[in-house]
Amino acid sequence: MTEQEPGRRPDGTRLAGGPGLLLVWLYGVMVVGAVSRSVYQIATEFDRAPLAYSLSAIAGVVYGFITYTLVRGGERARRAALVCCAAELVGVLTVGTWTLVDPSAFPDATVWSDYGMGYLFIPVLLPLTALYWLRRARAA
Amino acid sequence: MLDALTLATGVAALLLAAWCGWAAYRDQPTKDWHFIGMAVVTLLTLVQLVVGVVWLARGEEPAQGTVIFVAYLLGSFACVPAAGFMSLAERTRWGSVTVAASGVVLAVLEVRLYDIWKG
């Protein structure tokens, strides 16, 4: 390895390099976690907690899209990722508060329950970190 | 057997995380020795996968369901190699950070596997 180019963006905005790599990996983990969980729950016991399982599925789709934009890179992808991360943050804060205020609406947990406590609070930390990274990627 | 293996894998995953975290702290990418470490941890998860499937084939039933159990076995098997391949393309400290994160996630998966098995 003679050529090291951390943070270099030869064609457009590269988002999956440096700290972005960690973000891609964590988002990938959340995609697998949220999608597999909601697919299983919707397929086997949807009637038990339809709201919770639907929200998990939506979370999975959002995570999937953000992962795709990060890997793709470029200015348009960066903007799309910014919007989605903001939506994700709003989602996790709304659902997190909702589960605390009105637990009876959620017979079973979602990915975003209690601000993502069941996932080491990664769901609330990840969008904050990603928003910071995406803003910095423009400045560079 | 499964308990001991789960514990061993969890501890190995945390050691890997600490080791790669140290490399990241010293601003180094993952090196050959780190990849050998990842291979050892991955081998443990592979053995775990095989042992788990053999247990299921013997007619044992995990407390929280077979599907979830197998999904977590597959997830823990894929966890570290996925990060390892990504760190191959990222020859900076951030490759090491990613592998360290995968070690932590694997340790969490092992705890969940134990819960799924015991209920």
CB < 8 Å to A18, chain B:
90, 92, 94
pLDDT tens digits, one per residue of A15-74: 988 999 999 999 999 999 999 999 999 999 999 999 999 999 999 999 999 999 999 999
Mean pLDDT value of segment A112-131: 92
Q: How far is A100 from chain B (nearest CA, A)?
A: 24
Confidence band of B1 (pLDDT split at 50, 70, 90) = low
Record: contact B92-A4, CB cut-off 8 A: yes
How many whole angstroms separate alpha carbon B54 and alpha carbon B65?
Answer: 16
pLDDT tens digits, one per residue of B73-94: 999 999 999 999 999 999 999 9
Give the residue from chain B lying closest to A23, CA to CA: B98
pLDDT, residue A7, reads 47
pLDDT, residue B87, reads 95
pLDDT, residue A140, reads 67
Q: What is the largest CA-CA distance in chain B?
A: 49
End-to-end Cα spacing for chain A = 24
Record: contact B94-A17, CB cut-off 8 A: yes
| Cβ count near A39 (within 10 Å) | 15
Rounded to the nearest 10°, the torsion over CA A33, A28, B80, B28 is -140
| Share above pLDDT 90 across residues of chain A, in percent, rounded to a whole number | 76
pLDDT, residue B116, reads 93
How many whole angstroms separate alpha carbon B22 and alpha carbon B27?
Answer: 9
On average, the pLDDT of chain A sits at 89
pLDDT, residue B119, reads 72
pLDDT, residue A12, reads 65
Judged by a CB distance cut-off of 8 A, whether residue A74 touches chain B is no
pLDDT, residue B40, reads 98
Contacts of B115 (CB under 8 A, 6+ apart): B64
Residue in B38, B86, B88, B99 to test binding to A, most A beta-carbons within 10 Å: B86
pLDDT tens digits, one per residue of B51-69: 999 999 999 999 999 999 9
How many whole angstroms separate alpha carbon A19 and alpha carbon A2?
Answer: 21
pLDDT, residue B25, reads 96
Q: Minimal CA–CA distance to A87: which of A48, A43, A127?
A: A127
How many whole angstroms separate alpha carbon A33 and alpha carbon B14?
Answer: 20
CB < 8 Å to A24, chain B:
86
Confidence band of A129 (pLDDT split at 50, 70, 90) = very high
* Chain A (75-114) residues lying within 8 Å, Cβ to Cβ, of chain B: none
Judged by a CB distance cut-off of 8 A, whether residue A24 touches chain B is yes
Record: contact B98-A25, CB cut-off 8 A: yes
Judged by a CB distance cut-off of 8 A, whether residue A17 touches chain B is yes
Confidence band of A2 (pLDDT split at 50, 70, 90) = very low
